[in-house]
Amino acid sequence: MFVQELWRYPVKSMAGERIDRTHAGEFGLDGDRRIVVVDSRGRAITARTHPKLLGLKGATGADGAALVSGYRWDSPEALELVRAAVGSGARLIEVEEGGFDVLPLLVATSGAIAHMAIDGRRLRPNIVVGAVEGLAERSWPGKRLRMGAAPIETVQLRGRCVMTTYDPDTLRQDVGVLRRIAKELDGTMALDSRVIEAGKIRVGDPVRFSAS
């Protein structure tokens, strides 16, 4: 097995960026979900209720700052794009510990993606592990993997939500995707994971099961 893809989402609920290498630590991949959209009361807004956010592109600028469709996240232009997607009163904030929902890392596998015949981006993974046979990931919860220099624990299968129903490019909704995941995989796919010890991960790094 090997690290087939690495994905970072500089702004929570926006499209992410595919990267070649990164550092993984207590709060996931460096720069992942550090910017969050909130409403006027400071409550997080996600694509579950405002899917137009998925049409905005999160990226990382040359200076390390998060970008929203090419604009620095704290710029008036970025704010205008966000408010057009979710409504007036919304704003963007920076969070120190990352805006993850359950655990800071989501690991998907090539076998499960191929089995379901879907675009893996619908799952919004941080890491896609390649050369995995079929639905082998179903037996991974509680196991430890070493990916490059970072040992990772795959804690539990992720319960999937409506965000999987939106095409990453067109935002066209296909509720059949989530229905299939519910029917064939008990509504779960990919793995909520945590980093046991900080380290670097690169595309192509070997992935091995580890006893500790």
Would you list the domain boundaries of the chain?
2-7+22-27+101-210, 31-94
pLDDT at 101 (0 to 100): 83
Please give the class, per CATH, of domain 2-7+22-27+101-210: mainly beta
Please report, in angstroms and rounded to a whole number, the separation of the first and last CA atoms in the chain. 18
Check whether 204 has a pLDDT greater than 80: yes
State the Cα–Cα distance between residues 127 and 137, nearest whole angstrom: 13
195, β-bridge pairs? 152
pLDDT at 212 (0 to 100): 62
For 51-91, how does the pLDDT look when each residue is reduced to its tens digit (9 = 90+)?
999 999 999 999 999 999 999 999 999 999 999 999 999 99
Residue with tokens 């989501």: 106
Other beta carbons within 10 Å of 65: 17
Evaluated on CA atoms 208, 210, 23, 29, the torsion sign reads positive
- The 8 Å CB, 24+ separation contacts for 65-72 are 66/10, 66/11, 66/31, 66/34, 66/35, 67/10, 68/11, 68/14, 68/92
